[in-house]
Structure 1
Amino acid sequence: MLARTVDRLPTGDECVYEPKWDGFRAIADHRGGRVLLTSRSGRRLDARFPEVADAVADQIPPGTMLDGEIVRWSGDRLDFDALQRRNRASTRTARPLARSEPCHYIVFDLLRLEGADLTRRSLERRREALERLFEDVDQPSLLTLGWQTTDPETARDWYDTLPEVGVEGLVIKDARRSYRPGRRDWEKFKHRLTTEAIVAGTIGPPDQPRELLLGRFDSRTGDLRVAGHTTELTKRQSDDLGGLLHRAAGDHPWPRRLAPRWGGKDPIAYVQVEPEVVVEVQVDAASSAEQWRHVVRYMRVRAELSPADVPLDLDLEKRPDGETEPG
């Protein structure tokens, strides 16, 4: 099942709330001693994360199928970059990495139990069965029962405090619903915060841009590096920006083609512009390789600000004395 984005926290007697973990969504299918881990796109993950597959095989009965999120903890924070490194490693090095950099599987749904299909049951009944199943799972373990609450105040507290450990927001589900694969019947309420960035490139001509490529100065090197890119601009936004952006006349801090976007394969062809226009954008909490992992939403031009006024790295704001407040 999938989730659609909402702009406010839903409430109601039927609502249950779960943290939105920042990892790889995966179905774990225990087929009699062999566990298949499959991503949302159908890609096999068990060879990359053998410790997770082994934990399911050891502690979950055969004929059982789980839905959850593979995550990597670095200290007390979720580390998506470390998870990516694990995912890119060869199958030959997967076992050594599983010992030195183990990942965890946070389980939030039970689709089959010892051969019995549970998908037509309500989420409330599936959750009861999942909690009973986890009574026999060793703790601490690489398998973790995902948090869930029916209390909106508890959910709001999670929303306010869990970004410190890398949680993106909340997933809201209807306790009465069955499990319907591919349907966007769940909802996600994600952190959206505003901050500033420097326009250093455009998709489309600078006088009529379709998207903006954004930069931030690196606090260690002073270089302007790629921070992210926007969603497609409206016609009015494009018109407003068109008179402010100028094609780069000389050297530009970035190559003429940029690395592919998250999940893409092709380098980004774009138009280099003078990095002098500051814009306000809306971002979420997810980042990877020192970039905002998801596209950001353009809000407005900040004509009163210069590039020197923009926070460094991916920080959200500056302190009055000019030091950056960590994001």
Structure 2
Amino acid sequence: MEPMLARTVQTLPEGPEWRYEPKWDGFRAIVDRDNGRTVVNSRSGRRLDPRFPEIAEAVSALLPNGSSVDGEIVRWSGEGLEFEPLQRRNRSTVWDARRLAASEPCYFVAFDLLRWRGADLAGYVLEERREGLERLFDERAAPLPVMLGWQTDDPEEARGWFGDLVAVGIEGLVIKDARTTYRPGRREWMKLKHRTTTEAIVGGVGGRPGRPEFLVLGRFDPETRELRIVGRTSELTRAEQRELAGLLSEAGGGHPWPVQLPTSWGRDDSAEMVRVRPEVVVEVELDAAVTAGRWRHVVRYIRPRTELTPYEVPTGLGVET
């Protein structure tokens, strides 16, 4: 079964029908238990149980045969959520996954019950599915790697989560209508994500400096003072291309970056970039997700900051302006 998805919103809806949950920063997964065998599938349908054996084993002890749960695989370090260990695990061999499960254990946050003892629950409304999920956790002792995801119908409590939990890596909120059935592949849930603005240095472009298709962004490393790639923007509009065209110029020798764009931001990452002189500062909007020393998702270009020099830009990945 494909997972039900969420679309981005800018404000928090309120009303008796809405349910609010933290937006966990991890790997979405549906866990199926049939005939004594547990399979963990990613959002794209890729098998994850060989890479996360502790999740498969723990959910096996919780779910009866003919049952399925939807949730998120996360890594909790004691101080907050970490995404890089999930990526390490995803690239590991089955043998290494077993070793990492002992040294960097992961957890499964269950937030929806899709099947129960052979009965398909997708046609039941969320309120009923949630009641079934809570009964499951009440009646069975959940193994440590599995937890029931938080949910509230109180918008003030949800705002508290939104404001307080960003410090430990919660990306925002997922908002669901308690009256709706589970609709695989449909973006009928909503997500409200933390976004902030900050500055970065333009060190490269897709296309050419006179007509940049997107910007490759850098920050100085706080320890080495080297200019590091930290992100890239989404595709620029024609108006934004014209705004930047007169500011950017192709770099000569000595630029510290490779010609090839790092493979961190999607299908077009294999394209070559044109390195530009790292002297233009731009303001961008981004979310809180970070991995491998870069902003994980593409960022949105807002405007040039011609009054700032590169040395006035925050270092590292800090977003303080």
Calculate the TM-score normalised by the size of structure 2.
Answer: 0.96
Q: Name 1:10's counterpart in structure 2.
A: 13
How far residue 268 of structure 1 moved from its aligned partner, in angstroms, is 3.5
Corresponding letter in the other structure for 1:206:
P
Matching of residues 208-223 of structure 1 within 5 Å: 208-223=211-226
* Mapped contact 2:33–2:39 kept (Cα < 8 A): yes
Q: Name 1:185's counterpart in structure 2.
A: 188
Corresponding letter in the other structure for 2:63:
I
Q: Name 1:205's counterpart in structure 2.
A: 208
Instruction: Kindly provide the CA deviation profile for residues 76-119 of structure 1, in whole angstroms up to 9, marking residues without a partner as x.
Output: 20000111111111112221221221100000000001111111
Matching of residues 127-276 of structure 1 within 5 Å: 127-138=130-141, 141-264=144-267, 267-276=270-279
Q: Name 1:71's counterpart in structure 2.
A: 74
How far residue 265 of structure 1 moved from its aligned partner, in angstroms, is 8.1
Matching of residues 39-118 of structure 1 within 5 Å: 39-118=42-121
How far residue 266 of structure 1 moved from its aligned partner, in angstroms, is 5.2
Corresponding letter in the other structure for 1:38:
N
Corresponding letter in the other structure for 2:245:
G
* Mapped contact 2:25–2:169 kept (Cα < 8 A): yes
* Mapped contact 2:62–2:142 kept (Cα < 8 A): no
Distance 1:139 1:120, change over 3 A: closer
How far residue 235 of structure 1 moved from its aligned partner, in angstroms, is 1.0
Q: Runs of 5+ in structure 2 lacking a partner?
A: none
* Mapped contact 1:230–1:296 kept (Cα < 8 A): yes
How far residue 264 of structure 1 moved from its aligned partner, in angstroms, is 4.0
Q: Secondary structure at the match of 1:258?
A: coil
Q: Secondary structure at the match of 1:87?
A: helix
Q: Runs of 5+ in structure 1 lacking a partner?
A: 319-327
State whether structure 2 residue 309 is matched by structure 1 residue 317: no
State the alpha-carbon separation in 1 of the partners of residues 315 and 263 from structure 2: 23
State the alpha-carbon separation in 2 of the partners of residues 207 and 30 from structure 1: 56
Q: Taking every aligned residue pair, what percent have the same amino acid on both sides?
A: 59
> Which deviates more, 227-236 or 262-271?
262-271
State whether structure 2 residue 150 is matched by structure 1 residue 120: no
How far residue 258 of structure 1 moved from its aligned partner, in angstroms, is 2.5
How far residue 139 of structure 1 moved from its aligned partner, in angstroms, is 5.5
Calculate the TM-score normalised by the size of structure 1.
Answer: 0.95
State the alpha-carbon separation in 2 of the partners of residues 87 and 40 from structure 1: 13
State the alpha-carbon separation in 2 of the partners of residues 237 and 253 from structure 1: 26
Q: Secondary structure at the match of 2:40?
A: strand
Q: Secondary structure at the match of 1:92?
A: helix
Instruction: Kindly provide the CA deviation profile for residues 201-249 of structure 1, in whole angstroms up to 9, marking residues without a partner as x.
Output: 1111101111100001111211111111111111111101000000002
* Mapped contact 1:261–1:268 kept (Cα < 8 A): no
State the alpha-carbon separation in 2 of the partners of residues 267 and 235 from structure 1: 23
* Mapped contact 1:14–1:176 kept (Cα < 8 A): yes
Q: Secondary structure at the match of 2:139?
A: coil
Backbone CA RMSD of aligned residues: 1.2
State the alpha-carbon separation in 2 of the partners of residues 218 and 272 from structure 1: 18
* Mapped contact 1:216–1:227 kept (Cα < 8 A): yes
Q: Secondary structure at the match of 2:187?
A: coil
* Mapped contact 1:231–1:298 kept (Cα < 8 A): yes
State the alpha-carbon separation in 2 of the partners of residues 134 and 32 from structure 1: 21
Matching of residues 14-29 of structure 1 within 5 Å: 14-29=17-32
Corresponding letter in the other structure for 1:81:
E
Q: Secondary structure at the match of 2:46?
A: coil
State the alpha-carbon separation in 1 of the partners of residues 269 and 216 from structure 2: 16
* Mapped contact 1:26–1:67 kept (Cα < 8 A): yes
* Mapped contact 1:3–1:186 kept (Cα < 8 A): yes
State the alpha-carbon separation in 1 of the partners of residues 122 and 143 from structure 2: 28
Corresponding letter in the other structure for 2:199:
E
